[in-house]
Amino acid sequence: MSAILVLSPHLDDAAFSLGPLLAELSVRAQIFVATAFTKSNSTLSEFALACQLDKGLSADVDYMAIRRHEDLEWSRRIGVQTIHGNFAEAPHRGYQSAKELFGDVLATDQLEDALKVWLETLTSTIKPTVILCPIGVGGHVDHVWIRKVASAALGHRFPLFFFKDLPYASTLSFFNADAHLGNSSTCRELNVPLPQAAFLTAQFAAEAYQTQIAFQFGNVGQMKKTLNEAWTQGLPLYHTHACSDSTKAFLIMEHD
């Protein structure tokens, strides 16, 4: 069976951004969702602690362990396999405010070599037919790191497709992939048709992320509404190199 490698910065990014597509593709391919920033941290900065407390969790719990458990439940519901990387999220790498999370990468945030080794290990083990990678809509530094390193390390050797980051992209009135990928001469869009059942499966699976729903959406109903509105507008994939017709056909399944 063919393999698809999905690169996810955080434990929910793939679910919110690609849920229906993954639900559909899982029927005919092995899907591996590799999330980079999942490491537990025993010492918390003031900002890192605030990011935990604002989810309604106490200071003494292992926040990332809870999130990894949620991710495993999501993967069970949607039918994919998960891989948890050992990189710390940005609040544990010197970023001290929400503004900094969506600003420039800090000079002290030296992740490139370690991320490259991780991605090389993943691809040599999984041998993916296709790799899906976040574009970095919203500019979160963790998302930017994944796009930057994956593009440089893998883009010339694998069919690399990019997806819009949700829920960040849901707030945009206009989206231009060229502006994010920086290669307007070769950027192409691929739309994958999806059945309604895939949307319902993705909504149910996303409920597994209990620590995130209230903070990001308000409640489960609003989460489903926000994501469904974004998903029904289309889940296009973008590529900046000459992906073969057979690769594109692999991602597209016609439905009655």
Q: Could you read off the pLDDT of 183-195 as tens digits, one per residue?
A: 644 567 788 889 9
> Of the given ranges (27-31, 69-73, 167-171, 223-227), which has the lowest mean pLDDT?
167-171
The pLDDT of 99-119, averaged and rounded, is 96
The pLDDT of 128-150, averaged and rounded, is 94
Give percent of the chain above pLDDT 90: 71
CATH number at 194 reads 3.40.50.10320
Domain membership of residue 228 (yes or no) is yes
Domain membership of residue 79 (yes or no) is yes
> Of the given ranges (70-79, 170-179, 207-216), which has the lowest mean pLDDT?
170-179
Tell me: pLDDT of 14 over 90: yes
Give whole-number Cα distances, 175 to 12, 18, 131, 165, 238, in Å. 22, 17, 22, 11, 12
The pLDDT of 36-59, averaged and rounded, is 92
Cα 155 from Cα 161, distance rounded (Å) = 9
pTM of full prediction above 0.85: yes
Domain membership of residue 130 (yes or no) is yes
Query: Any idea what the Cα angle at residue 75 is, between residues 191 and 249, rounded to 5°?
Result: 25
Spatial CA neighbour of 20 closest among 214, 167, 235, 173: 235
Q: What is the mean pLDDT of the chain?
A: 90
Structure tokens at 97: 């405010």
Spatial CA neighbour of 149 closest among 177, 114, 121: 114
Cα 71 from Cα 83, distance rounded (Å) = 10
The pLDDT of 4-23, averaged and rounded, is 97
pLDDT band at 178 (very low <50, low <70, confident <90, very high): low
Domain membership of residue 160 (yes or no) is yes
pLDDT, tens digit (0-9, with 9 covering 90-100), for 212-239: 999 989 999 999 999 999 898 888 888 7
Tally the domains of the chain: 1
Domain membership of residue 256 (yes or no) is no
Domain membership of residue 38 (yes or no) is yes
Range of the domain at 87: 3-251
Q: Which residue has tokens 């639900």?
A: 23
